[in-house]
Amino acid sequence: MFVVLAGAGWVVAGEGAEPGVYERQLAAWGRGAAGGRALPDPEAEPARIARYFAGLTPAQRAGLAERYPLVVGNLPGAPLALRYRANRLAIEDARREERGRMRDERLSPAGRHEAGRRMHRLESMLRPERRFLAFDPTGRGRAAEVFGDLERAARISLVVPGADTELLTFERTRGRHTAPSGMARALYRQERVQRPGALRTAVIAWADYDAPDGLTMSAAIAAPAAAGAERLAEAVRALPGRVPVALFCHSYGSVVCGVAAPRLPGRITDIAVTGSPGMRAEDVNGLRTGARVWALRAEGDWIREVPHLAIGPLGHGADPAAPEFGAHVLSAAGSEGHSGYYEPGTESLRNLARVGAGEVEEVTCAPGAPSCAPFTRCAREGRARERPA
């Protein structure tokens, strides 16, 4: 029982771990200054942090990014271009660290091999065209990647992945559209196909929370989702401008979105969940959000076999794809298994892109989905599929 509870995060070790590089930079930041002024509290409101950076010279801003790349790169309110630059510096530092660990004879062969895998992942993240809104190599690692122009976008989509998300699984060579970066890239490209030249969109692969490690006990409880929801709400509040934002939440990520829903700002217009085990709510009213809620589930997705219940911290509640939940249930035609919703050429990806682009009248529903009735095309598609041949 002790092992199970420890794996779920319910038991804390008596001796704290040595502070990582992020914690050390935070401590140094607290003692630092720029232009004779103390550095702002990283927990301050993004608007206050933005005002602080506006009062610095370009050289002073660049100096902070070089001295504290992990702090500046993860600082809501700091200028976007500066955060991108700081995170590139932080990724370069992490790559050098992993390269050294690859040759460290004090590590086991398995440890050196793991360092090599991380080093190659970090090298990929340093490709010139890639931009990161958040990065932290601590532990299994976190990241958030941006596709498109976040400051000039007319709509923003944010992809929240599920369990087993870490730096090593942030992108994949095989099954690339099952990983957060590949999911967001596919959604961005499809949104541009939906309305070519008519709408500027940006998509964020937001893997900036500590997701459960695979299908362990932690994936069946709400604690990781509660911590992730707090980070998600903060990230959304710090997004630039006031344009509409849609959330796309996969698997355990839908639990995070469900817990976050009541505290999200009003600019969230849509929450779309794929392969959801539940959202910690009995129906859409329980989410306490004014956003439209959409659900997709592939025919062969094993998540349909998961018991949809919540007993204290265990389980995630009602099935969002069930009619009684009240979500708009969309067609996932063409997607396979639990992680195929963002595969190009599938109706599931086209539907997600329609939501992201704001073309909700164009979505197609799952066969016989009555909860899509408010939308003309959905009603038409649903009735057509219910007619006997």
Please say whether the beta carbons of 91 and 126 come within 8 A: yes
Helix ranges, 68-164 (H): 69-73, 80-102, 109-125
Q: Provide the pLDDT for residue 25.
A: 96
Please say whether the beta carbons of 135 and 223 come within 8 A: no
Task: Specify the length of the chain in residues.
Answer: 389
Q: Provide the pLDDT for residue 247.
A: 98
Please say whether the beta carbons of 191 and 148 come within 8 A: no
Question: Per residue of the chain (389 residues), what is the pLDDT tens digit?
Answer: 333 333 333 333 334 456 789 999 999 999 999 988 999 999 999 999 999 999 999 999 999 999 999 999 999 999 999 999 999 999 999 999 999 999 999 999 999 999 999 999 999 999 999 999 999 999 999 999 999 999 999 999 999 999 889 999 999 989 999 999 999 999 999 999 887 666 799 999 999 999 987 654 445 556 678 999 999 999 999 999 999 999 999 999 999 999 999 999 999 999 999 999 999 899 999 999 999 999 999 999 998 888 776 666 666 679 999 999 999 999 999 999 999 999 999 999 999 999 999 999 899 999 877 656 455 445 444 433 433 33
Distances in Å between the alpha carbon of 216 and those of 17, 256, 312, 331? 22, 17, 18, 30
**Shortest CA distance to 74 belongs to which of 234, 259, 266, 244?**
234
Residue 3 main-chain phi, psi, to 5 deg: -65, -40
Q: Provide the pLDDT for residue 60.
A: 97
Query: Cα-Cα-Cα-Cα dihedral of 279, 282, 283, 289, to 10°?
Result: -60
Please say whether the beta carbons of 329 and 369 come within 8 A: yes
Q: Provide the pLDDT for residue 372.
A: 62
Q: Distance between CA 301 and CA 320 in Å, rounded?
A: 14
Q: Distance between CA 317 and CA 260 in Å, rounded?
A: 15
What global pTM score does this model have? 0.88
Q: Distance between CA 371 and CA 324 in Å, rounded?
A: 9
Distances in Å between the alpha carbon of 77 and those of 167, 237, 245, 258, 268? 24, 10, 18, 25, 19
Q: Provide the pLDDT for residue 195.
A: 73
Q: Provide the pLDDT for residue 280.
A: 85
Sign of CA dihedral 151, 75, 97, 112: negative
Please say whether the beta carbons of 382 and 365 come within 8 A: yes
Q: In what order do the strands lie in the sheet with 245-250?
A: 131-136, 142-147, 201-207, 155-160, 245-250, 268-274, 292-296, 328-329
Q: Distance between CA 231 and CA 225 in Å, rounded?
A: 10
Exposure string for 296-310, b = 16+ CB within 10 A, e = fewer: bbbeebebbebebeb
Q: Look-up: residue for tokens 């596709």?
A: 147
What is the full DSSP assignment across 250-305? Answer: ETHHHHHHHHHGGGS-TTEEEEEEES-S--SBSSGGGG--SSEEEEE--TT-GGGG
Residue 275 main-chain phi, psi, to 5 deg: 55, 45
Residue 340 makes CB contacts below 8 A (sequence gap 6+) with: 177, 178, 298, 346, 348
Q: Rounded to the nearest 5 degrees, what angle is found at the Cα of 181, between the Cα atoms of 109 and 347?
A: 130
Q: Distance between CA 380 and CA 307 in Å, rounded?
A: 32
Q: Provide the pLDDT for residue 199.
A: 73
Q: Provide the pLDDT for residue 312.
A: 65
Residue 12 makes CB contacts below 8 A (sequence gap 6+) with: none
Q: Provide the pLDDT for residue 311.
A: 61
What is the full DSSP assignment across 224-258? Answer: HHHHHHHHHHHHHHTSSSS--EEEEEETHHHHHHH
